[in-house]
Amino acid sequence: MTNIAVIGAGTMGNGIAHVFAQNNYKVNLIDISQAALDKGLATVTKNLDRLLSKEKITSIIKAQTLNNITTYTSIAEGVKDIDLVVEAATENIDLKLKIFKQIDEEAPANAILASNTSSISITKIASVTKRPEKVIGMHFMNPVPIMKLVEIIRGYNTSDEVTKTIMDLSENLKKVPVEVNDYPGFVANRILMPMLNEAIETLYNGVAGVYEIDTVMKLGMAHPMGPLQLADFIGLDVCLSILNVMYDGFKNPKYAPCPLLVNMVQAGKLGSKSGEGFYDYSENRKAEIISKQFR
Q: What is the three-state SS of the chain?
A: CCEEEEECCCHHHHHHHHHHHHCCCEEEEECCCHHHHHHHHHHHHHHHHHHHHCCCCCHHHHHHHHHCEEEECCHHHHCCCCCEEEECCCCCHHHHHHHHHHHHHHCCCCCEEEECCCCCCHHHHHCCCCCHHHEEEEEECCCCCCCCEEEEEECCCCCHHHHHHHHHHHHHCCCEEEEEECCCCCCHHHHHHHHHHHHHHHHHCCCCCHHHHHHHHHHHHCCCCCHHHHHHHHCHHHHHHHHHHHHHHHCCHHHCCCHHHHHHHHCCCCECCCCECCEECCCCCCCEECCCCCC
User: Residues 6 or more apart from 40 whose CB is under 8 A from it?
Assistant: 9, 10, 13, 14, 17, 29, 31
Q: What residues are annotated to the active site?
A: 118, 139, 151, 189
For residue 282, the one-letter residue type is S
Domains of the chain and CATH, by start: 3-181 (3.40.50.720), 190-290 (1.10.1040.10)
Predicted local distance difference test score (pLDDT) of residue 191: 97
Query: Is 8 part of any known ligand binding site?
Result: yes
Per-residue pLDDT for 179 more than 60? yes
**Residue 215 marked in a binding site:** no
pLDDT tens-digit series, residues 17-29? 999 999 999 999 9
Q: Is the pLDDT reported for residue 286 higher than 70?
A: no
Among 85, 91, 76, 57, which residue's Cα sits nearest to residue 245?
Answer: 91
- Is 137 annotated for ligand binding? no
Q: Give Cα separations from 202 to 112, 184, 213 (angstroms).
A: 43, 24, 8
Distances (CA, A) of 10 to 30, 41, 49, 292: 10, 10, 19, 31
pLDDT higher than threshold 60 for residue 198 = yes
Q: How confident is the model at residue 285 (pLDDT cuts 50, 70, 90)?
A: low
pLDDT digits (tens, 9 = 90+) for 119-151: 999 999 999 999 999 999 999 999 999 999 999
pLDDT, residue 15, reads 98
| Helix axes of 59-67 and 11-22: crossing angle, nearest 10 degrees | 120
pLDDT at site 234: 94
User: What is the rounded average pLDDT for all residues in the chain?
Assistant: 95
Is 13 part of any known ligand binding site?
yes
Whether the predicted pLDDT of 55 surpasses 90: yes
148 is in an annotated binding site: no
Average pLDDT over residues 51-66: 97
Please compute, for residue 128, the number of CA atoms within 13 A of its CA located in the half-sphere on the CB side.
18
Question: What is the reported pLDDT for 168?
Answer: 98
pLDDT of the residue at 30: 98
Has residue 293 got a pLDDT over 60? no
Average pLDDT over residues 73-83: 97
**How many C-beta atoms surround the C-beta of residue 181 within 10 A?**
13
**Span 26-48, average pLDDT:** 97
Q: Is 10 annotated as a binding residue?
A: yes
Residue count of the chain, please give it: 295
- Tell me: is residue 9 an annotated ligand-binding position: yes
Instruction: Specify the pLDDT at position 282.
Output: 83
**Do the annotations mark residue 12 as ligand-binding?**
yes
Return the percentage of the chain with pLDDT > 70, whole number.
96
Q: Does residue 49 have a known ligand-binding role?
A: no
Identify the weakest region by mean pLDDT among 70-79, 86-95, 281-290: 281-290
- Tell me the Ramachandran region of residue 107: left when phi exceeds 0, alpha when psi lies from -120 to 50, beta otherwise: beta
Phi, psi of 81 (to 5 degrees): -130, 50
Residue 142 annotated as binding?
A: yes
